[in-house]
Structure 1
């Protein structure tokens, strides 16, 4: 071995070993093929191990995970990060449990991910309205609604032409009764819902320090919440364990899988600087070497029927071997060099 080391090419880590080329070429093709393909083989084996480990980590019975974390997917989504410049950063600290968005539960269901399903869909989650009393309606009502400042436009579920300018904080956090129509409210109340173009999103959360549900009101597109807030299903059991550890581990495994798969495929390319070129050369020599050996065996069989004489084994005319018999030679006769004994039936002369 001449040298060895580590390298990073386009963010892909790799290890290399430099072997003496002259000595490597002298090895049999099968041995040389085993050496030059060992790197690709180890990339493939490591990729299989990573796939098995990733599958084990996703199982609920994988014990090492549950020693450090507890699964909160049955309750909702755990906030593991918020963009530092987001208005939600102060209202959704890391570790907050989001139980509902509007009337859509974030608990694990038959859906793959309720967080992505709701925030990335045009569906509005207000299945029910709120019974707004006359005191709230008189507080700010107008036949032609124009949301100004903290007020937003609400409409009646019975008649969309009835519009009100109301404070969403008073509606969403005022412990008002929920309703499907105005008939479900008192005679002095109306069943109202936010107007669709107001983009009001109600986020129900549970803080770490208390089990009391709180409400955060977001005014803007739902997609911005998905872009600015990162959530997960696991909560640490101990304060020294980071909320981001599962996501970092998952990203690391994905990176290693892609790196090993890329190295495996790239190294198998028949390019001069890669292992694929030497593997192809060894395979060619291994295949064509066997064919040439078959051709050489045919030539040797032909030599068995030739009339060559070896100097070290002369046969007399009587048919008996006589090692002391030397035929008379002229001065210009060239004595042939001794030839090797071949493993063929000898023919007597």
Structure 2
């Protein structure tokens, strides 16, 4: 029996993890849940898994959550989340969306044996600090993003010297076949309709702009300690192949699977074993065709921005990540148009300060400054 903490329990990753856990009650026990502001939803999840510790981001909801869960330890607000993240467990699933998950993820590294990482922004903004702390604490990081989980499974560390490159795939999002002129007609509801995956709104918009693949490109470079030029991105509309690794003898290994997040989540929780999931088996005959195309940087400049930020500096990565979160929030609030997202991000990137990032405090400070500027 392994004890688990779930950061972002009421989000898409959290709910899929709950599904896996409830199907395997003999293997997993949820000790800690951290959620956003929906008291009823968080309380229902906590009751379903009998969580002992429950934290809610909205400090004004403390009493309401306490009344829903009289037998649990309740925490609220930023300080409460960090307190809940400091409870010892075997596995922490870090799935809070955006930079909001950075400090809870960083904190949890001291209190878990394995970090199942779904909060890609933690690595994008603070990969150096997160990886160093994980090593110092002896905490294993297993990626949950489908592409990085795939790379973890096919990446042969013993053949690193023979590696040419790795490739992560992108579906291309809902506007893959649209002309640049058609982008003027894009609205919020269109952008929230991903063709293959079911995800939260922020990640879904990132997929529509290809920024999500840019963040994953950075995550792959840092997690697997690769040179920026060793990580490639290719558009694969069917989302069946998730990653490939290519070697100097001409061999390319590929990881295939249905586009269902329960597969990589279950792998991160159960590794080195595999457990049964309700994910449909892969039927290549019915899929029939797998197609590929190069990403279009002209229509989707966010991917190129991410690649450039990775080659620039950690400060550039922090600023790009913060600017993207600001832009997506404005788009979801219908304050800017879809085509203005990369424009706003580039404005931030045009003013990257020459500041060294030496600590997690430096990361948080620069991220904060970007959001209030």
Higher strand share: 1
- When Rg is computed on C-alpha atoms for both structures, the one with the higher figure is 1
User: If the TM-score is normalised by the length of the shorter chain, which range does it land in?
Assistant: under 0.3
Q: What is the TM-score normalised by the length of structure 1?
A: 0.20
Q: What is the TM-score normalised by the length of structure 2?
A: 0.19
